[in-house]
Amino acid sequence: MDEALLRTLTPAVIGVLVRRGADFASAEDAVQDALVEALRVWPDDQPRDPRGWLVTVAWRKFLDAARAETSRRHREVRVESEPAPGAGEAVDDTLQLYFRCAHPSLTPASAVALTLRAVGGLTTRQIARAYLVPEATMAQRISRAKRTVSGVRFDRPGDVATVLRVLYLVFNEGYSGDVDLAGEAIRLTRQLAARTHHEEVAGLLALMLLHHARRPARTGPDGRLVPLAEQDRGLWDTRLIAEGVDVLQAALARDRLGEFQAQAAVAALHADARSAEETDWVQIVEWYDELVRLTDNPVARLNRAVAVGEADGARAGLAALAELDPALPRYTAVAAYLHERDGDPVTAARLYGEAARSATSLPERDHLTREAARLNAKLRG
Amino acid sequence: MAKYLLLKHYRGAPTAVNDVPMNQWEPEEVVAHVQYMRDFATRLEGTGEFVDSQALSEKGTFVRYDGEGRPPVTDGPFAETKDLIAGWMVIDVETYERALELAAELSAAPGAGGKPIHEWLELRPFLGASPTVTE
């Protein structure tokens, strides 16, 4: 039973139903019903044309539901308008579905849930587990989201930037439960990249591939965070790195720079260094300059300060940091790091302890606590 | 989305405005209070913000390791000054502001005289398990 195939087909099938006149929420429900049916029937009787099979069954489910809910007249109009069976659709509806699921009228959390369900084909249960909330809660989030976008008309292309933000949110959730959300985000972004030639879609795909390639080295066997400089580069996935670099180069060649391409370029420079010492920090600073120019994002400025510290020394890094708002997330952790490199372990230890108290994730807090403890032990000894 | 714990204290929190022990309320006031809490949870299920809610018994015991093969030392019932947690609710919301708003609403549950208790709730963010991508 090929569950991956089912998930891949989901968006196209929803798209067909919506184009045939089904409203989005009912189409999505009908396709979920068809998927359940497929899981039951296919192991014994795999259809020759899986997509055609799903379209037929989902359409029938939709009609059944419509029959139950609406008047007889209404139903007959729909049956009348049913196109000839078969899956010979020329238009690609999947793109529309991405835009709809990431519609600006939705909150980020709802957009993520809806995208995973409608474009990704995940079940409500899987999504709920990944986000560690009860299934009933997630079911409500999804059905509210569906209702919100149900009436949305799609006569002009949606906003690619919004779609990319949603996919990046999914990627950053990492993984828990039985679905690897990072892997899922890559799959969906690949699908999107195959359908549109937007440079930033390629940029985001490259960024995800390059980050994902380092995942095996990012945490130790005990779950502790391993900083980039200490990672075992032998654990990096060279195949993913090569692919990420290829995708990025093709995007950069089109000369329309965006923030995801710039971020991917930084990631590529890290991936390219055989050891931490060989990292090309000067070029990384240049890319952060581009990123700051493009987004004026304070987090980009903070990362730039770290890069400056590596390229021009801790003093220069601290000077760059001094221009930023100390309330920024991770500001204190960066300050601690730069002070230690500047030869001031007392200040560094105090700042690491402070940073640990305001950390927002468990691995990060533990890492910062260990750094503080390491310096304090050295100061005592 | 971020998860927050709303902690309800029996003792240890600052005193509520409408501070009358529950066993001295009118029976219908107790019913109204319970109904308010239940409605609140149901509504959060509807908005997709509910995660969990539990009430704890007042009987708690302190336990500690006290050497190999020796019984743990217990300390209870609690002295009046000790903090005691009555229960919690876990919510999963878009923003910190939303968490504050919901906590305030929960604190307005009706108490004696049908008036809001104005009790203090402790609001604590969860530490997530997933490491962020930025290195």
| B92 close to A (CB below 8 A) | yes
Same domain, A319 and A335: no
Q: Which residue has the higher pLDDT, A84 or A287?
A: A287
Task: Please say if the pLDDT value at position A78 is more than 80.
Answer: no
Report percent pLDDT > 70 for chain A. Answer: 91
- Mean pLDDT of all residues in A197-203: 95
Show the domain range for A83. 4-89
- Mean pLDDT of all residues in A174-196: 85
Chain B residues with beta carbon closer than 8 angstroms to that of A176: 129-130
Task: Please say if the pLDDT value at position A342 is more than 80.
Answer: yes
Same domain, A321 and A343: no
Q: Which pLDDT band holds residue A88 (cuts at 50, 70, 90)?
A: very low
- Mean pLDDT of all residues in A336-350: 97
pLDDT score of A87: 47
Highest mean pLDDT among A18-27, A150-159, B67-76: A18-27
- Ranges of beta strands (E only) in A281-350 are none
Count the Cβ atoms, other than its own, within 10 Å of residue A247. 25
pLDDT score of B12: 80
pLDDT score of A221: 83
DSSP secondary structure of A122-179:
--HHHHHHHTTS-HHHHHHHHHHHHHHHHT---SS---HHHHHHHHHHHHHT-EETTE
- Mean pLDDT of all residues in A45-68: 91
- Mean pLDDT of all residues in A130-156: 86
Question: Which among B48, B130, B135 is the nearest to A140, CB-wise?
Answer: B48
In a domain, A105, yes or no: no
pLDDT score of A329: 87
Class of domain B2-125 as given by CATH: alpha beta
pLDDT score of A89: 46
Strand partners, B4: B91, B125
Residue B64 phi/psi, 5-degree rounding, is: -145, 160
Count the Cβ atoms, other than its own, within 10 Å of residue B34. 11
Question: Which among A137, A299, A359 is the nearest to B48, CB-wise?
Answer: A137
Judged by average pLDDT, the poorest of A42-56, A281-295, A311-325 is: A42-56
DSSP secondary structure of A90-116:
-S--HHHHHHHHT-TTS-HHHHHHHII
- Ranges of beta strands (E only) in A174-308 are 175-176, 179-180
Same domain, A335 and A289: no
CB A139 within 8 A of CB A123: no
pLDDT score of B131: 54
CB A267 within 8 A of CB A244: yes
Q: Which pLDDT band holds residue A264 (cuts at 50, 70, 90)?
A: very high
- Mean pLDDT of all residues in A114-136: 91
Last residue of a domain, one of A59, A89, A119: A89
Which residues lie closer than 8 Å to B128 by C-beta, 6 or more apart? A360, A361, A362, B2, B3
Dihedral sign from CA coordinates of B98, B103, B109, B115:
negative
Which residues lie closer than 8 Å to A4 by C-beta, 6 or more apart? none
| B131 close to A (CB below 8 A) | yes
Question: Which among A136, A172, A227 is the nearest to B135, CB-wise?
Answer: A227
pLDDT score of A79: 57
Q: How far is CA B119 from CA A309, B21, B103, in A?
A: 49, 12, 10
Shortest Cα distance, chain A CAs vs residue B35, angstroms: 20
Q: Which residue has the higher pLDDT, A162 or A69?
A: A162
Task: Please say if the pLDDT value at position A109 is more than 50.
Answer: yes
Task: Please say if the pLDDT value at position B128 is more than 80.
Answer: no
In a domain, A317, yes or no: yes
- Mean pLDDT of all residues in A102-125: 91
Judged by average pLDDT, the poorest of A147-156, A212-221, A360-369 is: A147-156
Both structure tokens of B124: 């604590």
* All structural domains of chain B with their residue ranges: 2-125
Q: Which of A137, A138, A180, A186 to mutate to test the interface with B (most CBs of B within 10 A)?
A: A137
- Mean pLDDT of all residues in A61-87: 66
Same domain, A10 and A83: yes
Chain A residues with beta carbon closer than 8 angstroms to that of B49: 137
∠ at Cα A288 (A284, A291), nearest 5°? 140
Chain A residues with beta carbon closer than 8 angstroms to that of B127: 359-362, 365
Shortest Cα distance, chain B CAs vs residue A365, angstroms: 9
The pTM score is 0.85
pLDDT score of A46: 86
Residues A167/A173/A178/A184 CA torsion (nearest 10 deg)? 20
- Mean pLDDT of all residues in A116-135: 90
pLDDT digits (tens, 9 = 90+) for A2-50: 778 888 889 889 989 988 888 888 899 999 899 889 988 988 888 999 9
- Mean pLDDT of all residues in A115-120: 93
Chain B residues with beta carbon closer than 8 angstroms to that of A138: 48
Nearest CA in chain A to B131: A363
CB–CB contact B94 A108 (8 Å): yes
The number of distinct structural domains making up chain A is 3
- Mean pLDDT of all residues in A308-323: 97
Q: Which pLDDT band holds residue B113 (cuts at 50, 70, 90)?
A: very high
Task: Please say if the pLDDT value at position B74 is more than 50.
Answer: yes
Mean pLDDT over the full length of chain A: 89
Helices A24-41, A50-69: inter-axial angle, 10-degree rounding: 130
| B54 close to A (CB below 8 A) | no
pLDDT score of A7: 85
